[in-house]
Amino acid sequence: MTTQTPRSGLFDTVLVANRGEIAVRVIRTLRRLGIRSVAVYSDADAGALHVREADTAVRIGPAAPAESYLSIERLLAAAEATGAQAVHPGYGFLAENAAFARAVTGAGLVFIGPPADAIELMGDKIRAKETVSAAGVPVVPGSSGSGLADAAREMGMPVLLKPSAGGGGKGMRLVHRTSRLEEEIAAARREAMAAFGDDTLLVERWIERPRHIEIQVLADAHGNVVHLGERECSLQRRHQKIVEEAPSPLLDEDTRAAMGEAAVQAARSCGYRGAGTVEFIVPGDERGTYFFMEMNTRLQVEHPVTEMITGLDLVEWQLRAAAGQPLGFTQRDIGSTGHAVEARICAETARVTGDRVDFLPSAGTVLLLRDADGEGVRVDTGLMEGTEVGTGYDPMLAKVVAHGPDRPTALRRLRAALARTTVLGVDTNTAFLRALLDRAEVRSGDLDTGLVDRVAATLVPDTVPAEVYAAAALLRQAEREAAAGRPGEWTDPFSVPSGWRLGSVAAWSEHHLKVPGHDPVTVRLRGTTRAAEVRVGDAAAVPARLDTTGPGRVLVALDGIGHSFDLARDAGSSWLGRDGTSWHVQDHDPLSLAGSAAAAGADALTAPMPGTVTLIKVAAGDEVTAGQSLLVVEAMKMEHVIAAPHAGTVTELGVTAGAPVAMDQVLAVVTPHPEETEGDKEATP
């Protein structure tokens, strides 16, 4: 295929080799510039928003990424079939794959990104550190090679394990104890291989209370390199960013200028072209000190905060740089206005165990969607009602970004925007993000990369409001009233939902309800939905009333106070949403569940989320100790270790490596030793 001459200096047709919100984001800039867009999709994404937004869409394979979005051959075939002149990789998948960049240019197309040699150099964290260090950029002390455990012991605990071939937090492990080194290195290698196809690791000195600050750079093919200021990305969970802002509340002007110049030198050292990000770590107690961590040779997820303070469209400048156009400005021309903050909405369920919070991938169909709006608010999303969210791809669904004249205004606008965001049908972290943004440390700018993990348990509510259960019970009652009152049909007075009895005394009806992650609750109700009495759990009976206020909206008056909810019904259950929080209220059958629990046994280990079993460390009949790792379940490229709850014998093992599993599916059964069981009985008063 030969490269065609771009019209008006740009391209006529660009293929977007990605999915979800980034594909939609790129497509919208292409539309604004008058460039024809080509989307690609797997079978799982046939009805996705990015497919609908594009001018042309091409099926590239089944749901498995390796056979679709990671298939270089199929992507190039789609480009050839549609006459595309260039390929935009988005982020994730093949965005930082040097072989893909070479294949694109080898096919006579333009890769909208840096040269393959720059991707290859900066994609190898070991070589990248050596290269930028030679250019005078300070780097974090560390080591690589086969003797990682020995190097870590010599360096002293704690240390950070990092994959050499990729970023995004995948495969990163913070290790505090030398006794855990070998197991953590093995786990990090597995995650790195699964995510990047390369299990090479490096170990670095762990910097206490670090801040993560990155610099956005732009470079053209004519030797011009500029930076667009910094982004603070210190609010992270498991080394993955969840909130980003620009500018950083930490830096003074001298440090900002020095870090910007260091980022420019890092970009020059590898012959960079296009948009890229140089990431630094700043010790919390040494504000003027910074170390190079890595360079992301692609557009970043958090690029909108830079766009909102600079007024530049980074996708447009990626296109212009790829088309050979020079930057139309110098460093002195770049300014910034106000402050911007971004929050990443992900499909996940928070489960609290003691002081620990696990965020497990969630899946489902988007039944109702309300995007945020308001002054200074931007939403980048790949969602629409009807979207099927699975566990085969990254869990990020959307980004909500707010801009204001100052940081407090931007934070306030973002909190309000998250409160107006509703996703029903899939669990998300929206409420968690809103609570995090209201923390005193966040409002004051006293951040570090460990803050979220330290306070996470305080940000997940441990109870469900009574009005949620009351609304769900009243909705069930409304369905019964509608069924009992069909015109033209005789109604048995003993079956009416109001509980009619002799003497006209209404009886209580019981509704057994459960929100996943919480204990079941019984709601007792008598009367009609227009005039009822409701008892939630052991609380006193109070007057209640149900009103529908519009499509997907319901109002519940409980004890004289009105509560408004977004509403979606799914197979008889209710999804209720308010202020960014959603609850999936399901029917609870105590007898059925008791039988199920007895069948599985109290010693059964179940899957905490839908995913794939990637590693099994035991066999049926093995003796295990309490806390011993038995198997590993992977979902959305993250590993979840299933450990023995107590010492005993593995009496059942119902899965094999590579097998898909559903949430709550029994994986294994660990039967405690008889002597331990007897000892427990003797100790019981």
Query: Where residue 38 sits, what CATH number does that domain have?
Result: 3.40.50.20
Pair (150, 65) in one structural domain: no
**Residue range 69-116, pLDDT digits in tens:** 999 999 999 999 999 999 999 999 999 999 999 999 999 999 999 999
Q: Do 583 and 605 reside in the same domain of the chain?
A: no
Between CA 306 and CA 557 the distance in angstroms is: 44
Q: Are residues 626 and 583 in the same domain?
A: no
Concatenated DSSP letters for 432-499? HHHHHHTSHHHHHT---TTHHHHHGGGGS-SS--HHHHHHHHHHHHHHHHHHHT-TTS---GGG-TT-
Rounded CA separation 68/62 (Å): 6
Element (H, E) at 580: none
Q: Is the peptide bond before 590 cis (omega within 30 degrees of 0)?
A: no
Of the pLDDT bands very low, low, confident and very high (cuts 50, 70, 90), residue 488 is very low
Tell me the C-alpha distance between 442 and 451, whole Å.
Answer: 9
* Per-residue pLDDT tens digits for 214-224: 999 999 999 99
* End position of a domain, from candidates 560, 588, 616: 588
- Name the CA radius of gyration of the chain, rounded: 28
Based on the fold, state whether residues 102 and 146 are members of the same structural domain. Answer: no
Question: Three-state SS for 588?
Answer: coil
Are residues 549 and 602 located together in one domain of the fold?
Answer: no
For 178-212, give one letter per residue: b (16+ CB within 10 A) or e.
eeebeebbebbbbbbebbbebbbbbbbebbeebbb
In this structure, the number of other CB atoms found within 10 A of the CB of residue 549 comes to 12
Q: Does 93 share its domain with 20? A: yes
User: Looking at residue 195, what is its pLDDT?
Assistant: 80
Q: Indicate whether 341 belongs to any domain.
A: no
In a domain, 157, yes or no: yes
Range of the structural domain that residue 169 is part of = 141-205
Q: Are residues 580 and 605 in the same domain?
A: no
**Based on the domain organization, do 487 and 570 belong to the same domain?**
yes
Taking the C-alpha atoms of residue 375 and residue 404, their distance in angstroms, rounded to an integer, is 9
Query: Given 112, 131, 149, which residue is the final one in a domain?
Result: 112
Considering only residues 246 and 177, tell me which one the structure prediction assigns the higher pLDDT.
246
Residue 335 lies in a domain: no
Does residue 327 lie within any of the structural domains? no
Q: Is residue 238 part of a domain?
A: no
pLDDT computed for residue 6 by the predictor: 41
Same domain, yes or no: 556 and 498: yes
Q: For 165-272, list the strands marked E by DSSP.
A: 173-175, 201-205, 211-219, 225-237, 240-246
In a domain, 357, yes or no: no
pTM of the model: 0.84
Q: What is the CATH number of the domain that holds 154?
A: 3.30.1490.20
pLDDT bracket for residue 674 (50, 70, 90): confident
Distance CA 642, CA 616 (A): 10
Q: Which amino acid is at 510?
A: E
Quote the CA–CA distance of 610 and 636 in Å, as a whole number. 10
Report the distance separating Cα 268 and Cα 259, nearest Å.
14
Establish if 274 belongs to a structural domain.
no
Lookup: tokens for 164: 């050499």
pLDDT of 685:
38
Q: Is residue 35 domain-resident?
A: yes
Output the domain CATH number for residue 673.
2.40.50.100
173-209 per-position pLDDT tens digit: 989 999 999 999 999 999 888 888 888 898 988 888 8
Beta strands 509-514 and 521-528 are antiparallel
Examine the domain organization and report whether 502 and 570 are in the same domain.
Answer: yes
Tell me, what CATH number does 472's domain have? Answer: 3.30.700.30
Cα–Cα distance for residue pair 546/480, rounded to 1 Å: 14
Relative to beta strand 86-88, strand 56-61 is unpaired
Residue 12 shares a structural domain with residue 99: yes
- State whether residue 664 is helix, strand or coil: coil
Which among 205, 223, 243 is the end of a domain?
205
Is the pLDDT assigned to residue 681 strictly greater than 50? no
Looking at the fold, whether 82 and 145 belong to one and the same domain comes out as no
How far is Cα 378 from Cα 342, in angstroms, rounded to an integer?
9
How many domains are contained in the chain? 4
